[in-house]
Amino acid sequence: MDEDTNMTEMETSADMIMPLPLTEEQIDNLTEENYTTEVSDVDFVGEQGNNMGRAIFPGNFFPENNRPNTNITIIPIIPGVTKFSYIRFLNANPSQTPVDIYINGRKVASYLNYRAFTEYMKAFPGYYRIVVFKAGTRRNPISVSQINIIANRIYTAAFIDTGINSEWQMITDNTRILNQNRAFVRFIQLSYTAPLMDVYIDNRLVLSDLDFQEVSRYLSLAPGSRNIKLKVATTNRTILEDPNMFLRAGNSYSVYIVGDSNNRMGLQVLIPLEGTSYLSF
């Protein structure tokens, strides 16, 4: 669609918080500078197989004789036609709070505290560079990495501490059709200091030996209030209990286990509603 086409009532890439993606080659050509200079206006070929848009790189990213076209194309988001995904960000790193998150040079989250989620954001398929800074700063990044987003998926990108460094764990949410008479729940272990654990719901063992960075299968449960207990797998000692997990029929949930079992705050659980419960493509 050309720039002069009337799109006043249609959502476009100009309305998105996430910037346009890059190709893998373009990601490889980025320098270690200008982490906060937005990368926009390079020809991008997405999964549609055609030219989706262009974005501007600072001049030092490409050789003088290989400068990209700087024409700007606005990409319309047409339901059922335009391929995109959803992504939200979670700060699950108790040693890094709060943080600012830059994607391809654009700030998409400011002062994201530990245990906080962003809203879901639309993103086109392709490659993105993620740079994390201590909130309010733009030097000495905590983490620099890249992700590849595939079309028609719902992601939660969790910023975690592995005990060696800080990194992103990409978690794909359920996108299946939900049973309107049941609730679905899974468990995601994001604390590297936590022991192997068994998961009990209403005093019934439902998962054994849940390990760090493991994402469990979905459990189908009757809606209502549920009691969660996490126990050390080898001793049966309860290390965390949440007696009031409320599940609504027709919805899907993830129970994120976060925190540091070695400090006074210990472990916590976060139980957000998954995007599949209310997002549409």
209 shares a domain with 85: no
What's the rounded Cα separation, in Å, for the pair 93 and 168?
A: 10
Q: Is 5 helix (H, G, I), strand (E, B) or coil?
A: coil
Q: Is the pLDDT of residue 74 over 90?
A: no
What's the rounded Cα separation, in Å, for the pair 157 and 227?
A: 27
Concatenated DSSP letters for 6-69? --TTS-BGGG-SS---B-HHHHHH--SS-TTS----S-EE-TTSSEEE--PPPGGGS-GGGPPP
| Domain membership flag for residue 281 | no
145 shares a domain with 191: no
Cβ contact 205:199 at 8 Å? yes
What's the rounded Cα separation, in Å, for the pair 91 and 272?
A: 13
Residue 219 has phi, psi (to 5 degrees) of: -110, 135
Neighbours of 215 (CB within 10 A): 15
- Higher-confidence position of 74 and 121: 121
Q: Is the pLDDT of residue 209 over 60?
A: yes
Q: Beta partners for 247?
A: 224
Q: Is the pLDDT of residue 64 over 80?
A: no
153 shares a domain with 43: yes
93 shares a domain with 60: yes
157 shares a domain with 80: yes
What's the rounded Cα separation, in Å, for the pair 154 and 252?
A: 12
Q: pTM, whole model, 2 decimals?
A: 0.86
25 shares a domain with 101: yes
Look at residue 58 in the predicted model and tell me its pLDDT.
35
Q: Is the pLDDT of residue 233 over 90?
A: yes
57, 60, 89, 195 from 209: Cα distances, Å: 47, 49, 26, 9
Average pLDDT of the chain is 86
165 shares a domain with 131: yes
113 shares a domain with 18: yes
Q: Is the pLDDT of residue 61 over 50?
A: no
| Domain membership flag for residue 132 | yes
